[in-house]
A and B are shown apart, each in its own frame.
Chain A
Amino acid sequence: MSDDRNPGMPEGPGEGSLLQKPVDRRGALGLLAAGVAAGAAALGACRPLNASTPEERELKVLEWQEFTQKHYRRMTEAERAETIARIERLAKIRHDEDVTIATTDAQPGVLFGYAFNVSKCQGFRNCIEACINENNLDRASDTQYIRIFEMENGVVNLEEADATYQHEVPLEGHFYLGTQCFQCADPPCVPVCPVGATWQEPDGIVVIDYNWCVGCRACMAACPYWARRFNWSAPEVPLSEVNPNQHYLGNRARKKGCVEKCTFCIHRTRLGQLPACVEACPTGARVFGNLLDPDSEIRWVLANKHVFRLKEELATEPRFWYFSD
């Protein structure tokens, strides 16, 4: 309980005091759901929750279990496995998707950092294209985690920058600066969450439990970088374009009314891969690595280039730097 911003929040799976209780309120609701399901199976003729076919019945029960599931950080290993199996089954029933959802934990001794070379970026937006496809972003509302701002040479003025340019790039006399979630060391979005649905992982990535988010959008108001996105409707991704390689805290299917954000491609980076934006960048403007490794590329950039961060005076300590050649 050393983190006073999340009172009552355990620090890891299986450590919560709530687990010591025999049955809590949510557990009771879950048991109730299980009881309904068991009763339905026993009675046979009964049609619980207006479901007609077995699949519909299964869907109703799974949705009820999903509604009553625990907070991700309070789940035991077994509960996590159960939750993952449920989400994968729901994806199959709802959208006929065969997805694999990982719960890969942070690697010890790893703290992710990012550097963006403003003199290399040419504004091609390949990073955005890769991000949309990698993270299953909503095609209907055209959700994009990354913004590329076009600015006139000479001064960083985001107030007059253009993120919606549509002409041949690079434009003479202009430079390009990309923003996304900066995974701040002191993230203002985390303490404002009334339900503790967002937190910072040990490797510095700020994540959201989409099932726990109530959609109040306080985090969006708190973020000085406008890095979070809200799902006004259930995200739509064509079946043929769904990335089946997913992570519980990352690119799995979001629900209507929850907030989402860039997670440095948590499903890739925790396996040692690069985020999609870094890998897709054709100019090499993006550098990614482990801040705790003194021999990493990101540390070389921090030590040898002139770097700056956006709105540094707010002391959110973003782990995202800009540099130039």
Chain B
Amino acid sequence: MTRSWVTRGTVCLAAAAIIAGCREGHQVRWDQLPPGTAAIAVDSATAARNAAREPGALATVTADTVVGWTGPGGRPFEVARRTAGPDAGHSRRFGTITLPIVLRQGARALTQYPCMSCHAGSKVTMAARRTPDAHHDIQPVHPDTAGGVCATCHAQDNVASLVLIDGKRATLDQSYRLCAQCHFAQVNAWAAGGHGKRLDGWQGRRVVMACTDCHDPHRPAVQQRIPFRAPELEKTRGPIP
């Protein structure tokens, strides 16, 4: 009996030593360069190629510098300007296809902001009987839950201009200034890079999408849609012997 316990103890100790040895031998960490690569000297050809890269030239999206927020480390960043033109920066090219990068329904149709064709001044010029159809897709969550009305966000004399709590104006491209009045945690994360979407490159100019590029303020819930086709696992696996 005693001997058996001694044997078991020895085995356990040996196992523990082996495991500890393995752990000790395991030196690689995620924030370390791969072993052996730190010693590589950059040859002249590589150095020339590195110099030829112009990361700043990557971002081709029309954008404005963000007012009031900075990115990690206090770096300024820019927000893409949707009003710059149809689909500005919101579709990207992959190989030979171009994919629209939109989350909200009808986001691309809003490019031209035709608000003023009906909302001239403080009056709606459209025939009154047609008004119910005009915003049929609006789910006014913000008025319902936050006690707001149209004029809480839109300037009364110009619906294409946003109005802040302190009375200051913001353009439709500066939706983050309006949203940040309540959703400050989200906007802070957006400024730091943990929320939202960066366009173009991980290097160089940091250009991100604005709040309302993804979130429809009049219909905040993400709409369901059919995804891209599912993988055919049997084909990928190949013949099973």
Q: Are A290 and B193 interface neighbours, CB within 8 A?
A: no
A interface size (C-beta, 8 A)? 91
Min CB gap A290→B, angstroms:
7
A283–B104 Cα distance when bound, in Å, is 10
Min CB gap B53→A, angstroms:
6
A274–B193 Cα distance when bound, in Å, is 14
Task: Report chain B residues within 8 Å CB of A202.
Answer: 33-34, 37-38, 40
Task: Report chain A residues within 8 Å CB of B74.
Answer: 295
Q: Are B209 and A284 interface neighbours, CB within 8 A?
A: yes
Min CB gap B179→A, angstroms:
15
Contacts known (A169-B225, A269-B202, A295-B72); A317 close to B30, Cβ less than 8 A: yes
Closest to B74 in A: A295
The answer to whether B194 has its CB under 8 Å from any CB of chain A is yes
Q: Are B202 and A289 interface neighbours, CB within 8 A?
A: yes
Interface residues of chain B, those whose CB is within 8 Å of chain A, are: 26, 28-43, 45-46, 49-50, 53, 55, 58, 71-75, 92, 94-97, 99, 101-103, 189, 192-204, 209, 214, 222, 224-233, 235-236, 238-239
Closest to B97 in A: A133
Mark A133-144 against chain B: 1 for CB-CB distance below 8 A, else 0: 111100011111
Q: Are A200 and B95 interface neighbours, CB within 8 A?
A: no
Q: Are A240 and B227 interface neighbours, CB within 8 A?
A: no
Question: Can you give 21 A-B contacts (C-beta < 8 A)?
Answer: A12-B40, A104-B49, A113-B30, A117-B194, A122-B222, A124-B225, A126-B99, A129-B94, A131-B94, A142-B232, A147-B231, A168-B224, A200-B34, A241-B96, A273-B201, A278-B198, A281-B101, A284-B196, A294-B73, A296-B202, A323-B194
Closest to A5 in B: B35
The answer to whether A250 has its CB under 8 Å from any CB of chain B is no
Majority secondary structure of chain A interface residues (helix, strand, loop or mixed)? loop
Which one of A17-25, A27-35, A45-53, A299-307 contacts B? A299-307
Task: Report chain B residues within 8 Å CB of A204.
Answer: 33-34
Q: Are A276 and B94 interface neighbours, CB within 8 A?
A: yes
A134–B38 Cα distance when bound, in Å, is 30
Min CB gap B100→A, angstroms:
8
Task: Report chain A residues within 8 Å CB of B36.
Answer: 2-3, 11
Which one of A54-62, A63-71, A86-94, A159-167 contacts B? A159-167
Task: Report chain B residues within 8 Å CB of A178.
Answer: none
Task: Report chain A residues within 8 Å CB of B194.
Answer: 117, 287, 297, 300-301, 304-305, 323
Task: Report chain A residues within 8 Å CB of B239.
Answer: 232
Min CB gap A236→B, angstroms:
12
Q: Are B209 and A288 interface neighbours, CB within 8 A?
A: no
Task: Report chain B residues within 8 Å CB of A105.
Answer: 46, 49-50
Min CB gap A192→B, angstroms:
16
A276–B98 Cα distance when bound, in Å, is 11
Q: Are A325 and B228 interface neighbours, CB within 8 A?
A: no
Task: Report chain B residues within 8 Å CB of A304.
Answer: 189, 192, 194
Contacts known (A105-B46, A185-B34); A300 close to B192, Cβ less than 8 A: yes
Q: Which residue of B75, B201, B226 contacts A272 across the interface (Cβ within 8 Å)?
A: B201
Task: Report chain A residues within 8 Å CB of B58.
Answer: 271-273
A296–B194 Cα distance when bound, in Å, is 10
